[in-house]
Amino acid sequence: AQKITQTQPGMFVQEKEAVTLDCTYDTSDPSYGLFWYKQPSSGEMIFLIYQGSYDQQNATEGRYSLNFQKARKSANLVISASQLGDSAMYFCAAASAGGGATNKLIFGTGTLLAVQP
């Protein structure tokens, strides 16, 4: 079973600056995936980025990058050049990935990001 910890309930960032959202995880699974989702005030869950536990390189998707430190069990999300539209709740999540079977996503409590002009 996984446990996800997001220690920042809220963050502020100035527009155009970079921001790091913290996430640590605890799992005994040998193979797992780490995910970040964005949830704006509309409530939809928007997939941002994925990191597999055996991936050698940190994942990047446009302005999003995942700072994966396996030994520290951390998977921080970095958003570069923040935009006003980035203001939302951000969730870190994890799922087992063994044997090709699907498995439940377990979520952290989230970080509310506010981008200031």
Binding site for another protein (CB under 8 A): 33, 35, 43-45, 47, 50, 52, 91, 93, 95-97, 100-110
**Residue whose CB is less far from another protein, 50 or 58:** 50
Nearer to another protein, 71 or 101 (CB): 101
Least distance (Å) between residue 24 CB and another protein: 15
Cβ proximity to another protein: between 25 and 35 the closer is 35
What is the three-class DSSP state of 84?
A: helix
Smallest separation (angstroms) from another protein to the CB of 113: 14
> H-type helices in 15-106, by residue range?
none
Measured CA to CA, the distance from residue 48 to residue 26 in angstroms comes to 21
The nearer residue to another protein, 4 or 115, going by C-beta atoms, is: 4
Apex 37 CA angle, 31 and 43, nearest 5: 140
Q: How far apart are CB 95 and another protein at their closest, in Å?
A: 5
Question: Cα angle at 26 between 22 and 29, to 5 degrees?
Answer: 130
Query: How big is the chain, counted in residues?
Result: 117
